[in-house]
Amino acid sequence: MIRSWRRTLLAAALSLATVATGLTGAAPASAEAPIGPASGTFTLTGDPDDPITRGQSFSFSTASGMTASLFGNPFEAQAQVKDPVTGVGFFLALAPVGGPLVAGTTYTGATAWPFMEGTPGMILNGNGATCDGVLTGSFTLQDITWGPYNYLEKLDATFEQHCAGAAPAARGEVHLTNPPGPPALNPQIALAPTGTITQPAGTATVRGTLTCGQSASVNLTGSLVQSGRVGWVAPLTLQCVPGQAVPWSTTTAAPPNGARFRPGDVEVRIFLDSRDPFYDEPVRVTVGPVTLPLKND
């Protein structure tokens, strides 16, 4: 079962803090990317007095064994890379100011993430070192894309960081792509064109089909209204099957005060409630009011 990517993001942030202190041991399983590791490249060069690179150059590629994780949301992108042979790894965080991250934008005047106030934020740590205290920097987002629920799919950026506001800098590029996330649950109801009435009880039955983007349980409730008569349908728990239209039917309790549904038009409202099993987001879909004719069964 795939873990919630939001819970995974929190666990990963804790693991990434380990890398930020220069301890580049293997990340725990809870820090894996939502579906699998990211793929791409991470390159870095630096001036001799830069504490992160120490004047060295680094070129990481998942094609040659680098491990990488990519996490984020519209207001923050984080990347972790590591060479499992040498144990050298880096953590990079990029954040905008005053709005979401926008592809094609250069962010200047960045200060230390996550403590920035009124400025963009960034931090590059790793190689056994941290950029303590004041830092300044800039970064350009060449491309950034999200899937459903702001699942970060791709990050292409260049960046430059100066520790302690000094002239020596670390400069690099990150080009990472996560495996595509599954489609959102997105439950959808199709109502049959007519409902039926059971006599003499005067209860009404409506039918339809349910389609979804993922496998999940969906709770269905609803109401029928006809000339002031209101009936609540019996709640259902339905099992979504991706790619299939799952049939369902539900019947109202008899309206109060002796009133009964009659042949003719009725207003139908259907409510679907669930939780997306991958993105760990609540889902509610409202259908209607839809006018349907009721006929005797």
Question: What backbone torsions phi and psi does residue 10 show, to the nearest 5 degrees?
Answer: -65, -45
Average pLDDT of 128-145? Answer: 91
Within this chain, do residues 161 and 218 fall inside the same structural domain, yes or no?
Answer: no
Tell me if residue 19 falls in helix, strand or coil. helix
**Residue 216 within any structural domain of the chain:** yes
What whole-number distance in Å separates Cα of residue 77 and Cα of residue 70? Answer: 8
What whole-number distance in Å separates Cα of residue 76 and Cα of residue 99? Answer: 10
Count of the separate structural domains present in the chain: 2
Within this chain, do residues 145 and 258 fall inside the same structural domain, yes or no?
Answer: no
What whole-number distance in Å separates Cα of residue 117 and Cα of residue 79? Answer: 22
Domain boundary among 177, 204, 232: 177
Within this chain, do residues 204 and 171 fall inside the same structural domain, yes or no?
Answer: no
What whole-number distance in Å separates Cα of residue 242 and Cα of residue 240? Answer: 6
Number of DSSP helices (H) and strands (E) in the chain, helices first: 1, 19
pLDDT, position 83: 92
CATH number of domain containing 211: 2.60.40.10
- Show the tokens assigned to 108: 């200047």
**Residue 219 within any structural domain of the chain:** yes
Within this chain, do residues 123 and 42 fall inside the same structural domain, yes or no?
Answer: yes
> Do strands 170-177 and 264-275 pair parallel, antiparallel, or not at all (unpaired)?
unpaired
Within this chain, do residues 124 and 42 fall inside the same structural domain, yes or no?
Answer: yes
Task: Identify the bridge partners of residue 79 per DSSP, sorted by sequence position.
Answer: 70, 92
How much of the chain exceeds pLDDT 70, in percent?
A: 86
**Residue 183 within any structural domain of the chain:** no
- What letter represents residue 143's amino acid? D
How far CA 116 is from CA of 119, 199, 210, 282, in Å, comes to 6, 69, 47, 31
**Residue 182 within any structural domain of the chain:** no
Of 10-14, 73-77, 172-176, which range is least confident? 10-14
- pLDDT, greater one: 36 or 12: 36
Which structural domain, as residue segments, surrounds residue 252?
A: 188-296
Average pLDDT of 58-82? Answer: 92
Domain boundary among 138, 153, 177: 177
pLDDT, position 224: 92
Within this chain, do residues 228 and 259 fall inside the same structural domain, yes or no?
Answer: yes
What whole-number distance in Å separates Cα of residue 66 and Cα of residue 59? Answer: 9
Domain boundary among 158, 177, 196: 177
Within this chain, do residues 157 and 247 fall inside the same structural domain, yes or no?
Answer: no
What whole-number distance in Å separates Cα of residue 146 and Cα of residue 78? Answer: 14
- pLDDT, greater one: 159 or 232: 159
Within this chain, do residues 137 and 223 fall inside the same structural domain, yes or no?
Answer: no
